[in-house]
Amino acid sequence: MSGNISNRLLTTAPRVLVVDGSRVVRQLITRVLQAELPGVEVIGCGKGSEAEQLLGEGLFDFITIALRLPDMDGLELARVVRESSSQVYVPIVVVSGDVDDRLHRRALGEDVTDYFDKSLGFQALAEFIRGYVSPAATAEGTVLYVEDSRVVALATRRMMERVGLTVRHVVSVEDALALLEADRMLGWVGADVVLTDVSLKGELTGGDLLDRVRTHFGYGKGRLPVLVMTGDENPANQAALLRSGANDLVEKPVEEKLLLTKLLFQLRVAQHLRELSKEA
């Protein structure tokens, strides 16, 4: 497995970086996280430049960034994080209570994993972070799984079903698109998350599926998360998949715990956003 994907997210003592210009906010987040996540190491800083220095000194499992920092825009800092090869896949969540047009339009760019509304409270933030760094042993949700190798598909399907997930397996992008179209006609998205290999034997690739999900169907990252499995370690190609709308990547050969951690995180984020939309 490439060194780009940190195995720190699998540790029992997560390391969280909190970047916020307010010292009071940093203290509140730290206090709640330490109470809710035993052994967590929380490192806080108030400026983007301080965060850049910390990023060069060690890996983090999770990073929260305020949208507005004293010396730079939070999205600028997120881009710096992504440009660091050691932090490419760390979840970056914008934590903001600002009534900001970018948040309403979810126009946060491909460098941000998601956003969290401060008005929900720091207790909810702790639960949100725990969903990633300490994922539940079981989960509910439907995965649309696209894999043309029946041997790989059988093993991976069993892996997902063991934690309680419902798996709808198809062997081609064409089949996946037909399924999504039929379900849309019935008023249902068709799945809670898509898991697809990027290289498939049919005419269409996993990248084509990603494009159709985001453009033809118009499902955003929160409505239908897409997790892409790839054996291509080229950072430029990986970045292209993220820019095209992939929520996250998993490098092949797939390591079970890493895949499930990422998959359950995407499910949790999607469920959280659906709950928010119902309340709106």
Note the CATH number of domain 142-279.
3.40.50.2300
What does the pLDDT read at residue 106? 46
**pTM for the predicted model, two decimal places:** 0.64
pLDDT tens per residue, range 82-130: 887 566 668 888 887 763 555 444 455 667 776 777 777 777 787 777 7
What string of DSSP letters covers 161-200? HTTT-EEEEESSHHHHHHHHHHHHHTT--S-SEEEEES--
Q: Is the pLDDT of residue 180 over 80?
A: yes
7-133 and 142-279, same CATH topology:
yes
Domain ranges of the chain: 7-133, 142-279
Q: Using one digit for the tens of pLDDT, what is the confidence trace for 200-214?
A: 988 999 999 999 999
* Whole-number average pLDDT of the chain: 83
128, 153 Cβ separation under 8 angstroms? no
CATH class of the structural domain 7-133 = alpha beta
Cα torsion 182, 185, 189, 195 to 10°: value is: 20
Tell me the pLDDT band of 136, cut-offs 50, 70 and 90: low
Instruction: Give the model's pLDDT for residue 10.
Output: 41
Per-residue confidence (pLDDT) for residue 98, from 0 to 100: 62
Q: Determine what percent of the chain is predicted with pLDDT higher than 70.
A: 84
Distance CA 134, CA 149 (A): 31
Sheet with 166-170, edge to edge strand ranges = 166-170, 142-146, 193-197, 226-230, 248-251
Alpha helices for the chain (secondary structure H) = 23-36, 48-55, 74-83, 101-104, 122-133, 150-161, 173-185, 206-214, 235-243, 256-279
Greater model confidence, 109 or 222: 222
For position 189, what pLDDT does the model report? Answer: 94
More confident: 86 or 4? 86
